[in-house]
């Protein structure tokens, strides 16, 4: 006979191991992403042109405001710090609250990336990198370091996705070549050919290497450091 009492007991949530018992007697995976979040994240794949545009516009806007905005250094530091803290706070909230994470991916579906489902967003690392460059590097190195991040990374992504036929690891020669060319072109007007080429080589290698550090943090810091070393230590210009 069919025991309705036993069936009801099987459907009851179980607190053991953080999972629940399904009607078929199987334990669910407590770490599995909800279906609606999986669907929301799935809509963020592909070329994502608006993500690339946002990347370029953000860096350009910051540089314009800092370089020609006429704001004092403490004011700029305070604004950049506030933006960085806000971005970190948003990431902490959404990564600890699934409903907020879902809302994030739905609202920013043209800007978010699947890898940000359980990790700090690239835009947050972008803010951290910009803040640290302004805090630590000489003022004249701020613009080239930020602009190389703004333009070289999107160029590499687009070239790699559209024309990447020669791969090494998760990267492509085509994408890395685009990264190098754009990086050198962006920095040269600010620092000269030789420092720009030296910095472009270093940041291209860092971008391609599987270091586990987000490009938006590593690229501006490395670019500023190489430019400083080329001009100050080696006297190149």
Percent of the chain clearing pLDDT 70 (strictly above): 76
Q: Is residue 51 part of a domain?
A: yes
**pLDDT (0 to 100) of residue 28:** 45
Residue 14 pLDDT > 50: no
Banded model confidence at residue 144, pLDDT cuts 50, 70, 90: very high
Range of the domain at 145: 35-233
**pLDDT (0 to 100) of residue 223:** 96
Least Cα distance to 114 among 122, 161, 57 occurs for 122
Residue 79 pLDDT > 70: yes
Give the global pTM: 0.79
Q: Is residue 200 part of a domain?
A: yes
| Distances from the Cα of 209 to the Cα of 89, 107, 202, angstroms | 29, 32, 11
CA dihedral over 43, 117, 145, 222, signed as positive or negative: negative
Q: Is residue 4 part of a domain?
A: no
Q: Is residue 95 part of a domain?
A: yes
Q: Name residues whose C-beta falls within 8 Å of residue 164's C-beta, 6 or more positions apart in sequence.
A: 172, 173, 174, 175
Q: Is residue 9 part of a domain?
A: no
**pLDDT (0 to 100) of residue 157:** 87
**For residue 69, how many other CB atoms are within 10 A of its CB?**
12
Structurally, how many domains does the chain consist of? 1
**pLDDT (0 to 100) of residue 170:** 66
Q: Name residues whose C-beta falls within 8 Å of residue 194's C-beta, 6 or more positions apart in sequence.
A: 230, 236, 237
Q: Higher model confidence: residue 68 or residue 7? A: 68
**pLDDT (0 to 100) of residue 169:** 62
**Arithmetic mean of pLDDT, 157-185:** 84
DSSP tally for the chain: helices H, then strands E: 10, 2
Average pLDDT, the chain: 83
Q: What is the pLDDT of residues 20-77, one digit of tens each?
A: 444 444 444 444 555 676 666 665 566 788 889 999 999 999 999 999 888 999 999 9
Q: Is residue 15 part of a domain?
A: no
Compute the distance between CA of residue 175 and CA of residue 157 in angstroms, rounded to an integer. 6
Q: Is residue 23 part of a domain?
A: no
Q: Higher model confidence: residue 23 or residue 167? A: 167
Q: Is residue 72 part of a domain?
A: yes
For residues 142 and 63, is the Cβ–Cβ distance under 8 A?
Answer: yes
């Amino acid at each position: 006979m069919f025991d309705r009492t036993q069936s009801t007991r099987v459907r009851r949530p179980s607190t053991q191991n953080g999972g629940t018992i399904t009607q078929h007697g199987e334990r669910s995976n407590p770490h599995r992403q909800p279906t609606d979040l999986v669907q929301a994240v799935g809509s963020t794949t592909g070329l994502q042109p608006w993500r690339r545009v946002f990347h370029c516009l953000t860096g350009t806007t910051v540089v314009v405001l800092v370089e020609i905005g006429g704001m004092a250094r403490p004011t700029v530091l305070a604004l950049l710090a506030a933006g960085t803290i806000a971005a970190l706070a948003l990431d902490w909230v959404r990564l600890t609250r699934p409903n907020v994470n879902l809302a994030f991916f739905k609202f920013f579906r043209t800007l978010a990336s699947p890898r940000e489902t359980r990790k700090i967003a690239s835009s947050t690392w972008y803010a951290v990198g910009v803040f640290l460059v302004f805090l630590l590097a000489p003022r004249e190195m701020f613009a080239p370091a930020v602009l190389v991040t703004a333009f070289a990374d999107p160029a590499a992504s687009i070239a790699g996705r559209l024309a990447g036929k020669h791969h090494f690891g998760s990267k492509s020669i085509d994408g890395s070549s685009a990264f190098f060319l754009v990086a050198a072109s962006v920095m040269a007007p600010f620092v000269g050919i030789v420092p720009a080429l030296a910095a472009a080589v270093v940041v291209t290698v860092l971008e391609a290497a599987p270091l586990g550090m987000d490009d938006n943090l590593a690229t501006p810091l490395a670019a500023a450091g190489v430019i400083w070393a080329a001009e100050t230590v080696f006297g190149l210009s």
